[in-house]
Amino acid sequence: MTHDETPTPAARRPRRKGDVLHADLCVIGAGSAGLSLAAGAVQMGASVVLIEKHRMGGDCLNTGCVPSKALLAAAHAAEAARGAARFGVDVPAPVVDFARVHAHVQGVIATIAPHDSVERFEGLGCTVIRAAARFTGPREVAAGGQRIRARRFVVASGSSPALPPVPGLAETPHLTNETIFELTERPEHLLVLGGGPIGIEMAQAFRGLGSAVTVIQRDTILPRDEPEAVAILREILRGQGITLIEGAQVARIRPGVQVELADGTVIAGSHLLVAAGRKPNLDGLDLALAGVEVTPRGITVDRRLRSTNRRVFAAGDVAGGPQFTHVAGYHAGVLIRNILFGLPAKVDYAALPWVTYCDPELAHVGLTEAEARLASHPVQVLLQPLSGNDRAVAERSDQGLAKIILGGGGRILGATILAPRAGEMIGLWGLAIQSRMKIGAVAQMMAPYPTMSEISKRAAGAFYTPSLFSARTRRIVGWIQRLLP
């Protein structure tokens, strides 16, 4: 995570009056939301106290986005070697040195870490306190033996892996995203509880690095995504040798890393990864003393991200909304407008994107078809298979699709792309939704050839196919041709 900065030699610093530190803004949590907010606020002239009890950079840098993508990159390299023969290139079967893979992952973290370090943020002008924070009242926080009073507080304490109430789980050694990147030896057989984005990404990563992998999911894998895209991805994962057990209820975890299902089936493995959702980090904050309401989902906030205490805001995973790093960064921007400039900025998730970084990537933005129908939109669906894309055919990566959801008058409501680097292509559709564009804007776009991104233009063009190639159009063209000199 990088944060743009401008040198601020005269940055305002928090002031100490007696035994109390006074600041314009106190940020609790140095993860994606907290760091983005603190960096922006201090460079815009606010005095900032930043409190972090654990590791700077939070989940994304240390146990989330960064290490998972580094691990996936290693797996993709191994898969590329295995698949080289389909291009007429014969190479030896890859030999995975898992200790070196681990070193690669940790090296990527170490390279990015200085951007999120205490030294950098103190250099910007923040006062950084490395301790646990707790509210002592509506306008005061204590941390590291210090009392902090601020005009505004932002809780950005993030989330942690949630452990399902499965008998035997607590007594069985298991991994979560917070510990799986510490492995220096490759699991022989990784069992994954949960078929959401984290579970699917890690399943494909470890399979690519040579582990046997079984994913156990209580409903369908990736249940939030469009079923047409998930159906294609499911077959790709199975073709790679990943065992998918869907619609399964876990009855208990037996000793020796054995998962017993409700139907009596027992699956044995060498390691167990729990990827069954996340819970907000609220313990120890004493939010009740500040008059801040919370639920199991997180801090109760309005669309300005204000809590029930109008001086206390929430950002990122703890705010009870979508749990993505880019949402945390978006929250920081909303809060800067609210807190620093007094503007009534509000969150708007109409163009919310998300990506599952498997291969091929599954990217989505806006409404799914089911959500659009539930909202009573006059839904029209455009489907474009990746098999019609020349670049995909040339690279033998033509399993995928684009699915576009339209409302009345051709207004774009949502989009899904399953393709290599789909995460890089979905931004076009996010901009279209945010700008309330109609499908014609994308259909008329000039796309470079040959690129995977042409699938967006072709999908948009499909909106006009029925009318352009209709009998009525042929009659009109015939009349015009007879009238022309």
Q: Please say whether the beta carbons of 12 and 2 come within 8 A.
A: no
Classify domain 15-56+117-161+279-340 at the CATH superfamily level. Answer: FAD/NAD(P)-binding domain (3.50.50.60)
What local confidence, expressed as pLDDT, does residue 3 receive?
Answer: 47
Q: Does 322 sit behind a cis peptide bond, omega within 30 degrees of 0 on the bond before it?
A: no
Instruction: Encode the chain (485 residues) as per-residue pLDDT tens digits.
Output: 444 555 455 578 999 988 899 999 999 999 999 999 999 999 999 999 999 999 999 999 999 999 999 999 999 999 999 999 999 999 999 999 999 999 999 999 999 999 999 999 999 999 999 999 999 999 999 999 999 999 999 999 999 999 999 999 999 999 999 999 999 999 999 999 999 999 999 999 999 999 999 999 999 999 999 999 999 999 999 999 999 999 999 999 999 999 999 999 999 999 999 999 999 999 999 999 999 999 999 999 999 999 999 999 999 999 999 999 999 999 999 999 999 999 999 999 999 999 999 999 999 999 999 999 999 999 999 999 999 999 999 999 999 999 999 999 999 999 999 999 999 999 999 999 999 999 999 999 999 999 999 999 999 999 998 887 888 888 888 899 989 98
- Please report where in the chains the tokens 């250099």 appear, as a residue: 123
277-287: pLDDT as tens digits: 999 999 999 99
What local confidence, expressed as pLDDT, does residue 10 receive?
Answer: 59
What local confidence, expressed as pLDDT, does residue 18 receive?
Answer: 86
CATH entry, 353-466, from 3.30.300.30, 3.30.70.3150, 3.30.390.30, 3.40.50.620: 3.30.390.30
Q: Kindly list the distances between the CA atom of residue 222 and the CA atoms of 90, 149, 166, 244, in Å, as whole numbers in the listed order.
A: 35, 44, 21, 12
What local confidence, expressed as pLDDT, does residue 330 receive?
Answer: 97
What local confidence, expressed as pLDDT, does residue 7 receive?
Answer: 47
In percent, the amount of the chain with pLDDT more than 90 equals 92
Residue 8 is encoded by which pair of tokens?
Answer: 């601020």
Nearest 5 degrees, angle CA 35-CA 321-CA 179? Answer: 60
Q: Do domains 15-56+117-161+279-340 and 353-466 have the same CATH topology?
A: no
Residue 373 has, within 13 A of its CA and on its CB side, a CA count of: 5
Longest alpha-carbon distance in the chain: 92
Give the residue extent of every domain in the chain: 15-56+117-161+279-340, 180-276, 353-466
CATH class entry, domain 180-276: alpha beta
Residue 153 is encoded by which pair of tokens?
Answer: 């507080």
What local confidence, expressed as pLDDT, does residue 2 receive?
Answer: 43
216-234: pLDDT as tens digits: 999 999 999 999 999 999 9
pTM for the predicted model, two decimal places: 0.94
- Please report where in the chains the tokens 């805001």 appear, as a residue: 313
